[in-house]
Homo-oligomer: A and B are copies of this chain.
Amino acid sequence: MKVPVVREVLKANDQVAAENRERFERAAVRVLNLMASPGAGKTSLLLATLDRLPAGIPVGVIEGDVAGSIDADMVAERGVPVVQINTGGNCHLDAPMIRAALAHLDLEALDLLFIENVGNLICPANYRLGQDLDVVVGSVPEGHDKPYKYPGIFTGADVVVLNKEDLADVFGFDHTEYERGIRMLNPDVPIFWVSCRTGEGLAAWTGWLVERLAPAGHVVAGS
């Protein structure tokens, strides 16, 4: 008797991701997957983006963390519907976790869904969730060598947002070297240089995002 073995864990995940994607499309929700190192500023960027989005776009959030609900609490304070996923020991979100979270969100009422992944520059890039856009959030204090050390996540990024830009001088951050590392992997990816603390660059980022989401005709028009 041949014992069936599920060898391709990622393919099994991709099937659920495709089902999530179908649900998102049916509900006309655009989905962003925010990925970054711990402390790069995923939540800061999320909150700053929520504050700057044009009025009338109904937004939801799924927060992924190993433990706790510190970030989700901050989102909830703004009256935005949010679901917390605690992964336990898991270093990334996967498609079944997102499916479970969707049971707690009224998808039909949303136009835009942010998923904040677990803080990790490696594995989150390998697990599809059903998202439209992969957003990689870098940060100045991490150093400009990150694209060379963590190529996978930069290769698949649809957009890179480099945060804590106001401290570039303090850290001797080399923008040319950072951008060169990214361009080697992903020649045409848009890069935004922002500071969630000073607000620098956030209007450009939010403007790009709204424009990027517009062609589907349901976000800017408010469904």
Measured CB to CB, the residues of A under 8 A from B are 1, 3, 37-39, 65-68, 70, 89-91, 118-123, 126, 139, 141-143, 145-146, 148-152, 164, 167, 170
Contact = CB atoms under 8 A, between A and B. Distances in A.
A90 B66 CA distance: 18
Contact of A141 (B119, B148, B150, B164): B164
Contacts of A38: 37, 121, 142, 146, 149-150
A122 B170 contact: no
A119 B149 contact: yes
Contacts of A68: 148-149
A44 B90 CA distance: 28
Given A66-B149, A66-B151, A39 B123 contact: no
A39 B146 contact: yes
A70 B67 CA distance: 32
Contacts of A119: 37, 121, 149-150
Contacts of A118: 122
7 contacts: A38-B150, A39-B143, A66-B122, A66-B150, A66-B151, A91-B91, A123-B123
Contacts of A66: 122, 149-152
Contacts of A89: 122-123, 126, 152
Nearest to A163: B141
A85 to B, nearest CB: 13
